[in-house]
Structure 1
Amino acid sequence: MGYMVGADTEIPELPKVDLSGLYMKGSDEKIWTAARSKIAEALETYGGFEVIYSEVSSELRNKLLGLVVPGMFNMPAVNKLSEAQELPYHGFWFSKLGFPFLAIQLINPNSRVDVQEYAEIIWPKGNDFFSNTVLNYAKHMHELINMIHRMILENLGLEDHYDSHMKSLAYSIRFSNYYKNEFDNGTNLALPSHKDPNFVSIICPHGVEGLEVEAAGATGGEWIRTNTMTNLFIVLVGEAFKAWSNGRLHAPNHRVKLKNETERRYAVIFSTLPSATNDTVNAPEELIDEQHPLLFKAFKYYDYVKFRFSEEGEKTDDALKAYCGA
């Protein structure tokens, strides 16, 4: 973890890794290995890092978060989607009772057909600007998140598992809106502390700070505030990867806390998660030995999600351990 010097004190920051110019094929081996090592250390210690990735232009980012997302949440159709939720966190619509937060999710954001059908739900005649912007952004995120998965598996010595691992995954994009809460008690907390249940999330904020990650092992609740640089994204590991890696990767608590009650924050989250037809999460045998006994029994991801967001699951300090701890 690095530190940013403030007016009176040093403010902790997540590690930064520059993946600009790196690709799945043809990358300089020394640069790839150095970046991979930084990611390994960051994920084992903090469960996340900030990635610099200049392949996404500031123009594309501004189109997505400055025009597409705000326009979407202003559409009348969006206000009628509250009954469209089929599965917590992975439903078309997601909100958190008592908190000023709304999210809309699209599975398979790299499919033009799916993106256009999605646009037609919100805009009666569709929206080519929305579709083209989302597809362009998803193309870059698909490359980036696949690269991160490959580096993680290489660090675990499981590069031979890469193809089968990636075939078992699905991709999603979530558009999030954090806004003023007229009933706020002064905390400005838009989304409470939680862990993501999926594999990896890449979060793209737009100008307004707010995402905070809890420092691993913190006893006093030390929170690391993330940055909002134009070429920077925040990468977080979810519980599925923690279980799959037999605890070698840390899934961090994180929250969204706005600076004041008048702020509105938009973000786009691109994620990997188990596919609906292959959702068993099971640690590979290579990661289980005397020094690393099995921590989590094999489980069905979507059954876990239902538990994770149930009343019982919400009450537990560690839902994953409560559900499938070995």
Structure 2
Amino acid sequence: MAAQRNIPVIDLLDFPNQSSKLVAASEEWGCFRLINYHDVLPATLMADMKTVVRSLLDLPAEIKQRNLDVITGSGYMAPSAKNPLYEALGLYDMASPRDVDNFCSQLDASPHQRETIMRYAEGVHELFMSIGKNLAESLGVKSENIGIENWPCQFRINKYNFTPDSVGSPGVQIHTDSGFLTILQDDEEVGGLEVMDHSGEFIPLIHGQAPSSLTSATWQRSIDIAIMVFDVSKLKLWSNGRLCNVKHRVQCKEAKLRVSIASFLLGPKETVEPPKELVDDDHPRLYVATTYEDYRKMRFSTKLHAGEALALLHTP
């Protein structure tokens, strides 16, 4: 039997030495696990945030239903026929203090909960900026020309109500995310997140699989574990097809409640197209230009949620 392949691990404190490893992970996998980021997102804040998230997801249904969409899929999602085990709350732009405040007001959040959510949103946004800058520069693109500082960052908290009867079934169907980057704080107690490698095999993201040379408090089971995954539906377009568009799913492994926190760097409101550094005679443009919102609408209208919608944007 072939050895289990592990998701790449990137050390945030080791750039530019990690640049080639980051590009390789982005091209082959489309995702990676991140370590040494706690100066930006402290472990104590992540643990506090998980407590807040659990309390919000336990609110009565009539309160959770106040969490309305700003764009399709940005607000409350009740269990459905397609995903009966899944429930979520969200806000459109966690980089906007006004949006965060409105989200908290919708759910009658306490002052402590508001402060925790605001601090978490600020930390995740800073982490997005760091990852985006390192990724652009690793590809030979000047990060100041991208303008990611003004892109909205969608926020979603997820609950999976796994029961004995649901073991072995999907918690969420196979999909890709439609934004540029995704940062996921996974459930450190209940597994189930799997990503597809280039051969079509699903690889579980196993807690504590970081190599000993990169150990940190991140990997201790006594605190929340952050798994940083980015899905590149739009980033694949921006990178002119260079980066992998990873598919992932959540499988029910055991009858427990599973909670995760996902943040999405959505992309610019204006047209998205590859920077000049990534287009030349040897690498002609592969996709027609589009906006983030037009791409989202196309995904919903075609029901192509696993990256297939990109094929509709291929240049003639």
TM-score range, shorter chain: 0.7 to 0.9
Task: Give the equivalent residue in structure 2 for 1:34.
Answer: 17
Alignment partner of 1:200 out of 181, 194, 210: 181
CA contact (8 A) 2:57 2:88 kept: no
CA contact (8 A) 1:85 1:94 kept: no
Query: Structure 1 vs Structure 2: percent identity of aligned residues?
Result: 25
* Pairing of 1:207-222 with structure 2 (within 5 A): 207=188, 208-216=190-198, 218-219=199-200, 221-222=201-202
CA contact (8 A) 1:43 1:249 kept: yes
1:144-165 alpha-carbon deviations (Å, 9 max, x no partner): 2111111111122111x53543
The TM-score normalised by the length of structure 1 is 0.82
Which deviates more from structure 2 when the two are superposed, residues 224-233 or residues 98-107? 224-233
**Are 2:312 and 1:319 equivalent residues in the alignment?**
no
1:242, 1:50 → 2: CA distance?
Answer: 19
CA contact (8 A) 2:70 2:92 kept: no
Report the alpha carbon displacement of residue 70 of structure 1 after superposing the two structures with TM.
1.0
Task: Give the equivalent residue in structure 1 for 2:280.
Answer: 289
Alignment partner of 1:72 out of 28, 51, 56: 56
Residues 15 and 78 of structure 1, relative CA distance in 2, 3 Å threshold = farther
Task: Give the equivalent residue in structure 2 for 1:190.
Answer: 171
Residues 70 and 98 of structure 1, relative CA distance in 2, 3 Å threshold = same
Report the alpha carbon displacement of residue 201 of structure 1 after superposing the two structures with TM.
0.5
2:139, 2:242 → 1: CA distance?
Answer: 9
Paired residue secondary structure (2:178): coil
Report the alpha carbon displacement of residue 81 of structure 1 after superposing the two structures with TM.
4.3
Residues 142 and 163 of structure 1, relative CA distance in 2, 3 Å threshold = farther
Paired residue secondary structure (1:212): strand
Report the alpha carbon displacement of residue 197 of structure 1 after superposing the two structures with TM.
0.7
1:242-279 alpha-carbon deviations (Å, 9 max, x no partner): 1001011112000111212x22211111221124xx24
Q: Aligned residue pairs: how many?
A: 295
Query: Relative contact order (C-alpha < 8 Å, sep 6+): which is higher?
Result: 2
Unpaired runs of 5+ in structure 2?
Answer: 209-218
1:97, 1:68 → 2: CA distance?
Answer: 28
The TM-score normalised by the length of structure 2 is 0.84
Alignment partner of 1:106 out of 91, 94, 98: 91
* Pairing of 1:127-206 with structure 2 (within 5 A): 127-159=110-142, 161-167=143-149, 169-180=151-162, 184=166, 187-206=168-187
1:110, 1:317 → 2: CA distance?
Answer: 26
Residues 114 and 215 of structure 1, relative CA distance in 2, 3 Å threshold = same
Report the alpha carbon displacement of residue 200 of structure 1 after superposing the two structures with TM.
0.3
Paired residue secondary structure (1:237): coil
Task: Give the equivalent residue in structure 1 for 2:242.
Answer: 248
Paired residue secondary structure (1:236): coil
Residues 317 and 136 of structure 1, relative CA distance in 2, 3 Å threshold = closer
Task: Give the equivalent residue in structure 2 for 1:259.
Answer: 253
Amino acid at match of 1:318: E
